[in-house]
Amino acid sequence: MSILKVARMGHPVLRARSRAIDRGELKSTAIQRLIDDLIETMIEYHGVGLAAPQVHEGVRIFVASIEQERPGEESPPAEPVAIINPEITPVGTDIVEDWEGCLSIPDIRGRVPRAREIRVRALDRKGERLDLRAHDFPARVIQHETDHLDGILFFDRMRSFETLTFLDEYSRYWTKDD
Ligand SMILES: [Zn+2]
C-alpha cells in the first residue's frame, strides 16, 4: 500500500466529473490497490473521507470512516469502507448546517448545509450491492465525498462565506471544549 499525493484546490481533477466503474473493473488489481491506498492515505492525513479524484483518479469511488446502519442489525464500529458508484437520495426535507473541512482545502473550515438523512445505493469493494441509510455526521461525509465525484467542493454548497475560517481561528473562536 502507498500513501498518495492529495490534489489541492485549483487542480482541475477536482472539478471534473468522474466515471462509473463496472464490477469487472472493480475486481481488478489496480482498483483494489487504489481502494487500499485511499484508505491508507485517508488515515495518514486524519481524514474521515477521501474520494478518488482527490488522489488524481477520475473514478466514482470514495472511502470513509462511517458507521453503517442496516435495518434490524446493530451498527458495526466505524471502520473505513469503500463506496463505489454512489447514488444518493435525501430522506425527508431536513437540512442541517455544520462544519466541514477537506483534505484538498487544507486548514480551512466552513459551515455547509446538507440533507440530514439520506439513502445511499452503491457497490462495495467486492461488487456487492449496498443500500443503506445514513443521518447526521455520516450522511454529511457521504454527501461531501459524493460531491467530489461530480467535481463539487464544499465551498460550492455554502450559503455564504461568512463562516469560512482558518483552522487556527476555528479552534480559537468557534469551538468551546475541543
Ligand atoms: Zn473533500
Rounded Cα gap, residues 165 and 110, in angstroms: 6
Answer for the pair 83, 145: CB distance below 8 angstroms, yes or no. yes
Cα R_g (the chain), whole angstroms: 16
Phi, psi angle pair for 100, to nearest 5°: -135, 155
Q: How far is the CA of 132 from the centre of ligand 1 (A)?
A: 21
- Burial string for 54-64 (b: 16+ CB within 10 Å, else e) reads bbebebbbbbb
Condensed to tens digits (0 to 9), the pLDDT of residues 121-136 reads: 999 999 999 999 999 9
Condensed to tens digits (0 to 9), the pLDDT of residues 46-92 reads: 999 999 999 999 999 999 998 655 566 666 557 899 999 999 999 99
| pTM for this model (two decimals) | 0.92
Q: Is 73 designated active site?
A: no
Q: How far is the CA of 126 from the centre of ligand 1 (A)?
A: 24
Which residue is catalytic, options 74, 145, 162, 169?
145
Q: In the chain, what is the straight-line distance between the N-terminal and C-terminal CA atoms, in Å? A: 32
DSSP letter, residue 27: T
